[in-house]
Amino acid sequence: MKQKITAGELMKLTRHFEPAELNQADIEALGGPEAAGRAKALLDRIEPTLPECPFCGAPGQIVGTVQMCRPCVRVKCSECGCGTYLFFTGVDAFTKKEVSLEKAAGQAVDRWSRRKEKRPEAHHPTTDGHNEPTTPE
Ligand SMILES: [Zn+2]
């Protein structure tokens, strides 16, 4: 009944899933080896389209993981570690609607991309070197 997955296949699957070791329960949470492969392929397709990190300019990474038996995704910076929170698949607690991995990934990408677009122009009036310390009387 249970489909076995080889170590080699596991390595291929884990590129977009952290922690690096997906266990058998994680594979099952993803819907089996085939579905896990599709999930990885989806993230493989998305990753090159991600905008760079708004803080350090490094490439963005989309990562998948399984938390509480539910596959979830987030986008993070490959260098400085900033990123979105996790977007879960499964039934949304508030809307009661099913969230697919594709949809969760889309939400993570939207959040990551929006952050970049909304970055305000740098405006620091105190960078002229004349900051006056406030002194008590
Ligand atoms: Zn960064």
Residues with Cβ within 8 Å of residue 18, at least 6 apart in sequence: 63, 64, 65
Domain-located, residue 137: no
Query: How remote is the CA of residue 65 from the centroid of ligand 1, in Å?
Result: 20
Sign of CA dihedral 43, 44, 46, 52: positive
Domain span including residue 83: 7-117
Distances (CA, A) of 131 to 59, 122, 123: 35, 18, 15
What domain count does the chain have? Answer: 1
Predicted confidence pLDDT, tens digits, the chain (137 residues): 556 666 566 555 555 765 555 788 888 899 988 888 889 889 999 999 999 998 999 999 999 988 888 999 999 999 998 999 999 999 988 999 999 999 999 999 999 998 545 555 655 555 455 555 555 55
Domain-located, residue 67: yes
Domain-located, residue 132: no
Domain-located, residue 37: yes
Domain-located, residue 122: no
38, burial (CB in 10 Å: exposed 0-12, middle 13-18, buried 19+)? middle
Query: How remote is the CA of residue 132 from the centroid of ligand 1, in Å?
Result: 32
pLDDT of res. 125 = 55
Domain-located, residue 72: yes
Query: How remote is the CA of residue 82 from the centroid of ligand 1, in Å?
Result: 6
Rg of the chain in Å (alpha carbons): 20
pLDDT of res. 18 = 58
Domain-located, residue 90: yes
Name the DSSP class of 78: S
pLDDT of res. 99 = 95
Query: How remote is the CA of residue 78 from the centroid of ligand 1, in Å?
Result: 7
Domain-located, residue 124: no
Q: Per the confidence metrics, is the pTM higher than 0.85?
A: no
